[in-house]
Amino acid sequence: MSAPMINVTLPDGTVLEVPPDSSIGDVAAAIGPGLAKAAVAGQIDGETVDLGTKLSGDAAVRILTERDDDALAVLRHSAAHVLATAVRELRPGAGIGFGPAIDDGFYYDFDVPEPFTPADLEIFEAKMADVAKANHPFERRVVSLEEARALFADDPLKLERLEEFSEDEVITVYQDGPFLDLCRGPHVPSTGSLKHFKLLSGAGAYWRGDEKRQMLQRIYGTAFFKKSQLTEHLERLEEAKKRDHRVLGRELDLFSTDPRIGPGLILWHPKGAIIRNEVERFEQELILRHGYDLVYTPHVMNERIFEISGHLENFKDGMFGALDVEGVAYRPKPMNCPGHIAIYQSQQRSYRDLPIRMAEFGTCYRYERSGVLHGMLRVRGFTQDDAHIFCTPDQVPGEIERLLDLVDEILTAFGYPYAISLATKPEEKALGTDEQWDTAVQTLADTLESRGVEFEYDKGGGAFYGPKLDFKLIDAIGREWQGPTVQLDFNLPDRFDLEYVGEDNERHRPVMIHRVLVGSMERFVGGLIEHYAGAFPIWLAPEQVRVLPISEHFLDSASDFVDQLKAVGIRAVLADRETLSYRIRDAEMHKVPYMAVIGEREAEAGTVAVRKRGAGKKQEVIDRAEFVQQVQGEIESRTLD
């Protein structure tokens, strides 16, 4: 008696019958020869697999082609293996670490005596082309733990990884030509699928991310299905280099770090401090209008409060070590919520008091590994625009709606489009019951859906104490940045035994909503530098007008005009040294929004010759009072032009 046919449900709902033991490739062929030729990989019940993967029973199947986003990760993972194949052929003794696909590309880690050079990367890239041209099939094998140890007997990194497997665990290896790797897959059918790729850079990376282990050499690269996509990506990377906030921060004198102070700790220079202050001032005006009260809490706190909050249990590795204060352990705060909870508990609260909205520009400290520190974007000390809302369960939907309006208002002011994701319960280190999490997630989803707001789920991406809404900012060149977050929390109110007296005179548990609008001030300003490429809109610009007398004969007139500008709060600077052409170039290099040139005609007529940033040599002669009024209007309206 023959085995029953397998029912395959396709994405459009069509059910296809295929013989038992059919592969994903067989399913593609059954649908049509064109799809079989274009297929890159497949999905069985949502899990991405190789084309050679066999069906074990009825399943929902999707065939992936180069038009599917999920296929790109498969191509890039395969590109990492092609890179390792090339390196191993040229450097036979190289130890092999991990080689995953990542956002925008892939990397592979190698254990070698000396760091790779840019010239090495060019040689490896050329060898990768040879490996791709050879069109080696990616062959998957299931092996026992004993077999795997024998296969990788000469590679201590792989042997260490194998120690984490149990005897009955499924272990798979992949081979392409001469290269064999311990890998779960999936991969494209053969190395010939890799046509458009580029090795980008090399960097040091500790084995398994542990700074106590050996330093490996990581090679980053990217790959695409189409040459036009690769070209566009490389052009975007070049543009990103021009916008690098670390370079611009130095050129524009905005911030620095100092090894004597410590890595990941930002020194705000006067010009950078102006930008930060303008952001904080704008946000403060905004949140006060939205019903918040400002509070301040200490930078260090008794360790006991972090035991109650769960931070020591779930976030200890991200906290700085304890300080001994008269025999009591204190820690720099990693976040502001425990202090706000203490303020809430400082007196009895009634339902009439709620919602209570506390906001703080509070400096926090987190222990980030030195290898991940990156300018202003990843730091150890940062100021966070934290706020916490204490409300009744019935008030939650209204508060979430209010927050959606607030987020939209602040991001629009900076010119950021954005996307929203709803992050759900993490698999590990989550406080609270499944019922609490389900209720919280559903509340957030219902509120978004009732407003017709588009969002996607981020499975397992929630904080340890509750689900959250993440707002991803999209910058001027299409990159995503971490933006505002809104976190719904039923757990900390339980852990701290928070209460309010209800209308029934009984004690009830409030709901706590955590939110940040810009998040870390350091990361947000670093992102703004790159978003604007250092050319800040006039309301944020550290220097708004630079006044340039043509010669020293008109210095008094220029100085008077600077005083006129400063008198109404415009940040103006008098530039009277060096030649005029040098001063103009310097103003352009520092991306000053306006240059106001004063010569004989302007001094006599009470006018200025105005050059606007980005307008080249074009200038307009305008009455000084009119120019002042124009600049004031642009600042007050926070124009983005």
Active site residues: 337, 366, 384, 386, 388, 468, 514
What is the rounded distance in angstroms from the CA atom of residue 314 to the CA atom of residue 516? 21
What is the rounded distance in angstroms from the CA atom of residue 286 to the CA atom of residue 474? 22
What is the rounded distance in angstroms from the CA atom of residue 386 to the CA atom of residue 34? 54
**Nearest Cα residue to 615 out of 640, 636, 592:** 592
The 3-state DSSP class for residue 223 equals strand
List Cβ<8 Å contacts ≥24 apart for 205-208: 205/97, 205/109, 205/371, 206/371, 207/97, 207/109, 207/111, 207/157
What is the rounded distance in angstroms from the CA atom of residue 498 to the CA atom of residue 389? 13
238, burial (CB in 10 Å: exposed 0-12, middle 13-18, buried 19+): exposed
Q: Which residues are within 8 A (CB) of 428 and not within 5 positions of it... i.e. 6 or more apart?
A: none
- The secondary structure of 28-47 as a DSSP string is HHHH-HHHHHH--EEEETTE
**Nearest Cα residue to 601 out of 553, 562, 563, 564:** 553
What is the rounded distance in angstroms from the CA atom of residue 502 to the CA atom of residue 392? 9
What is the rounded distance in angstroms from the CA atom of residue 147 to the CA atom of residue 133? 30
Q: Which residues are within 8 A (CB) of 225 and not within 5 positions of it... i.e. 6 or more apart?
A: 66, 71, 72, 75, 195, 196
What is the rounded distance in angstroms from the CA atom of residue 142 to the CA atom of residue 147? 10
Backbone angles phi, psi at 464, to 5 degrees: -70, -15
**Nearest Cα residue to 144 out of 117, 166, 111, 174:** 166
**Helix 624-636 / helix 555-567 crossing angle, nearest 10 deg:** 40
Which residues, listed in sequence order, are joined to residue 514 by a DSSP beta bridge?
A: 388, 487
Tokens read off for 562: 């600077």
CB contact at 8 A, 490 and 340 = no
For the chain, the residue count is 641
Q: How many CB atoms lie within 10 A of CB 622?
A: 16
**Nearest Cα residue to 578 out of 599, 556, 549:** 549
Q: Which residue has the tokens 């369960």?
A: 393
**Nearest Cα residue to 219 out of 380, 363, 65, 82:** 82
C-alpha of 485 from chain center: 12
C-alpha of 349 from chain center: 38
What is the Cβ-side half-sphere exposure of residue 522, based on CA atoms within 13 angstroms?
Answer: 25
Which residues, listed in sequence order, are joined to residue 62 by a DSSP beta bridge?
A: 43
List Cβ<8 Å contacts ≥24 apart for 558-562: 558/598, 561/596, 561/598, 561/608, 561/624
Strands 47-49 vs 456-458: parallel, antiparallel or unpaired:
unpaired
C-alpha of 585 from chain center: 35
Backbone angles phi, psi at 307, to 5 degrees: -70, -45
